[in-house]
Structure 1
Amino acid sequence: MTSCTDPSSPGTRPSLWRHRAWSDVTEYRVPSTRSRTSEVVLGCLRSVSVAGADLFGARHAAFEDEARALPDELAAGGSLVEETVFTVLLARRPGGAQ
């Protein structure tokens, strides 16, 4: 399964959790390498509202052609490789409160 989520979204920041009742926050960072095809990259683009087909009207096909060109060029017939860090936040309330 491929995720298209933004790792910088507010829910992923430990500092925000610490300001709430979850003061005992541990962050685990796991380096990861993943490969994606150009088609998967384009699929992620399709999943965000700013790239919705209805926003482009008659130009949508041209937009998708342009959006596909760069990943296709960079992948050179293969996959695009992304070096990333998978972050897990483990949050607990102090004193075992629920």
Structure 2
Amino acid sequence: MAKRLIPTLNRILVEKIVPPSKTNTGILLPEKTSKLNSGKVVAVGPGARDRDGKHIPVSVEEGDTVLLPEYGGTEVKLGDKEYHLFRDDDILGTLHD
């Protein structure tokens, strides 16, 4: 049975997107061309509360593609997959096509 992690408060579980190392035709791509640090949101926490007790929801949803900081996050391994936990504040933005 696979475990499922549900983040607490304003934390977000992200699976980092590994850019392809070669094109469909087999051309090898240099590492520096695809430096965008992005990931897919797998799960989100319920949000946090401010000083007055007012609920502050998380700004992203499951399935969103997000831009991540170069450093930070907590590495989490579930089964054979690797994920990273970030706080909502750490997410730099969402990526859209």
TM-score of the aligned structures, taking structure 2 as reference length: 0.20
Bigger CA radius of gyration: 1
**More RCO (CA 8 Å, sep 6+):** 1
Q: From the two aligned structures, give the one with the greater helix fraction.
A: 1
What TM-score do the two structures reach when normalised by structure 1?
A: 0.20
Richer in strand (by share):
2
